[in-house]
Amino acid sequence: MEGGFFLIQHFDLTYDGERHTGIEYTGYDEDTRTLRSHLMESNGGNFTYTYEIEGDTFWYWFGDKGSDNFSRGIFSKDGDTIMGRWQWPEGDDKTGDYEYTTTRIKEPSSREIYMQKIIPFLWFDNKAEEVMNFYTSIFKNSKVLSIMRYGEAGPGLKGTVMSSTFQLEGQEFIALNGGPQFTFSPAISFFVNCETQDEVDELWDKLSEGGEEQGPGWVKDKYGLSWQIVPTVLGEMLSDPDPKKSQRVMEAMLQMSKIDIKTLRQAYEQQ
């Protein structure tokens, strides 16, 4: 699918008298008119289904398209809310109807959310919710997307956080509470382009608190994750066609821990 959109929605589903609520992620293929959704319930359960549109009818497969486990439903739409009633096909040994309501998590005037093909997946011991709150408090253009909790099947305690999903400057991240088996190293880092010295200073100070300055421009936060806090002007200076200028800038940078734009510019402009 080329450029298919990705929606994030709240869902409220009643099936066989049981209510299920949570977050639904749906990707749509405009060419085949096929959708695939993953529902993460508030209580920790999750499941995936595929469906096709035929007029006002949705054909649902609980899992992969074409499987024997399917149902059909009629839906109606009111603004950003979709309401439907689904039934198992006649002759199926399953029983019961279920009602479904889903509401888009977005302002009606905003653009559709496009599915990010590659998402950094970060393994922590037991800090997935804490790191999400920490990072979204630091970066201005950020938001919490969802929290997934362990259910009866575990392996974590029922109700505890399994993973968190969030965005930083438009980039989506998933944090997992996976246990102490794996830790981070500076071999993987996140490169942050900064336009001003104030932005460099603010991010550097917040990310280095409780962590470690690795320099030049590198900092490890208190959770062990490495970041590169770099002013965009550095790349411009280092790529200058005058090799003497770029060499002076490189030598100045290698003496730094936190990058200082004024000092770089002095080295660049030195005659």
Q: Are 224 and 199 in contact (CB under 8 A)?
A: no
pLDDT at residue 111, rounded to an integer: 36
Q: Which fold, 121-177?
A: 3.30.720
pLDDT at residue 3, rounded to an integer: 38
pLDDT at residue 58, rounded to an integer: 54
Q: What does the block give as tokens for 35?
A: 């959708």
pLDDT at residue 1, rounded to an integer: 30
Query: Is 0.75 surpassed by the pTM of this model?
Result: no
- Domain boundaries along the sequence of the chain: 6-104, 121-177, 189-269
Write the pLDDT tens digit of every residue in 123-170: 999 999 999 999 999 998 898 888 888 777 667 788 888 889 999 998
Residue 79 and residue 107: Cα distance in Å, rounded?
11
- How is 180-220 classified by DSSP, letter by letter? TT----TTSEEEEEESSHHHHHHHHHHHHTTSEE-SSSEEE
Closest by alpha carbon to 232, among 264, 254, 202, 255? 264
φ/ψ of 82, rounded to 5, equals -110, 130
Q: Number of C-alpha atoms within 13 angstroms, CB side, residue 245? A: 14
Residue 155 and residue 177: Cα distance in Å, rounded?
11
pLDDT at residue 239, rounded to an integer: 92
pLDDT at residue 5, rounded to an integer: 43
Residue 127 and residue 77: Cα distance in Å, rounded?
39
Contacts of 227 (CB under 8 A, 6+ apart): 189, 190, 191, 192, 203, 207, 218, 219, 220, 221
Regions of the chain short of the pLDDT cut 50:
1-5, 63-64, 69-71, 91-98, 102-114
Domain at 6-104, CATH class:
mainly beta
**189-269 belongs to CATH 3.30.720.210:** no
pLDDT at residue 150, rounded to an integer: 78
Residue 92 and residue 26: Cα distance in Å, rounded?
27
Same fold, 6-104 and 121-177: no
Closest by alpha carbon to 73, among 99, 94, 42? 99
pLDDT at residue 118, rounded to an integer: 83
- How is 55-123 classified by DSSP, letter by letter? TTEEEEESSSTT-S-EEEEEEEEETTEEEEEEEPPTT-S---EEEEEEEESS-TTSPPPBPPS---EEE
Q: Are 24 and 38 in contact (CB under 8 A)?
A: yes
Q: What does the block give as tokens for 49?
A: 């289904």
pLDDT at residue 57, rounded to an integer: 53
Burial class (CB in 10 A: 0-12, 13-18, 19+), 269: exposed
pLDDT at residue 141, rounded to an integer: 87
